């Protein structure tokens, strides 16, 4: 297997761990907070965790404040891509509304991967070309 494929697999694994972390934090926080503050705090915790997991495990690079501050752009991009994807799938292609969000989420993975790779492998503004396996 190519080093790039291993990196994509690590990215997917981090995504699964991140989803579980988010949901576990949400359930734990919702026990003593209203749902929306619990949601926001769980989202922040999972995003910080995702940053460090992707930095150290997926891309095997060093975290910096710049990368940390740019990393939320991956979440924003994911939201935009999945939102547009859901609309297109439901309104233009007639995909079932219960299935469309899952399909859109899968479709957003490559875009989110490329953006997170660009942000987390940036060295002084330029992306790092090498891939560690």
**Tens-digit pLDDT profile for residues 33-55:** 999 999 999 999 999 999 999 99
Report which of residues 129 and 91 the model is more confident about. Answer: 91
Q: What pLDDT does 124 receive?
A: 54
Pairing of strands 122-123, 126-127: antiparallel
Tens-place pLDDT, residues 54-70: 999 999 999 999 999 99
Per-residue DSSP letters for 96-116?
-TTTHHHHHHHHHHHHHHHHH
DSSP SS3 for 16 = helix
Of 105 and 72, the structure prediction assigns the larger pLDDT to: 72
Question: Considering the chain, what is the average pLDDT of its residues?
Answer: 90
Residue 2 or residue 28, greater confidence: 28
Structure confidence at residue 1 (pLDDT):
79
Judge whether residue 131 has pLDDT over 90. no
Q: Residue 122's pLDDT is what?
A: 86
What are the start-end ranges of the H helices in 31-91? 35-53, 65-70, 72-87
Indicate the domain borders of the chain. Answer: 3-127
Q: What 3-state class would DSSP assign to 70?
A: helix
Picking from 49, 50, 25, 19, the residue whose alpha carbon sits closest to that of residue 37 is 25
pLDDT recorded at residue 41: 96
Q: What is the pLDDT of residues 101-126, one digit of tens each?
A: 889 988 998 999 999 999 999 875 44
């Amino acid at each position: 297997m190519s080093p790039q494929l291993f990196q994509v697999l690590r990215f997917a694994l981090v995504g699964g761990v991140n989803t579980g972390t988010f949901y576990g934090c949400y359930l734990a926080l919702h026990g003593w907070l209203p749902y929306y503050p619990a949601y926001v705090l769980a989202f922040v915790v999972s995003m910080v965790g995702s940053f460090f997991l992707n930095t150290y495990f997926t891309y095997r690079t060093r975290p910096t404040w710049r990368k940390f501050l740019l990393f939320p752009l991956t979440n924003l991009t994911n939201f935009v891509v999945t939102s547009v994807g859901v609309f297109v799938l439901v309104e233009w292609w007639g995909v079932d509304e219960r299935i469309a969000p899952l399909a859109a989420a899968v479709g957003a993975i490559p875009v989110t991967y490329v953006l997170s790779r660009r942000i987390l492998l940036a060295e002084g503004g330029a992306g790092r070309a090498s891939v560690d396996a």
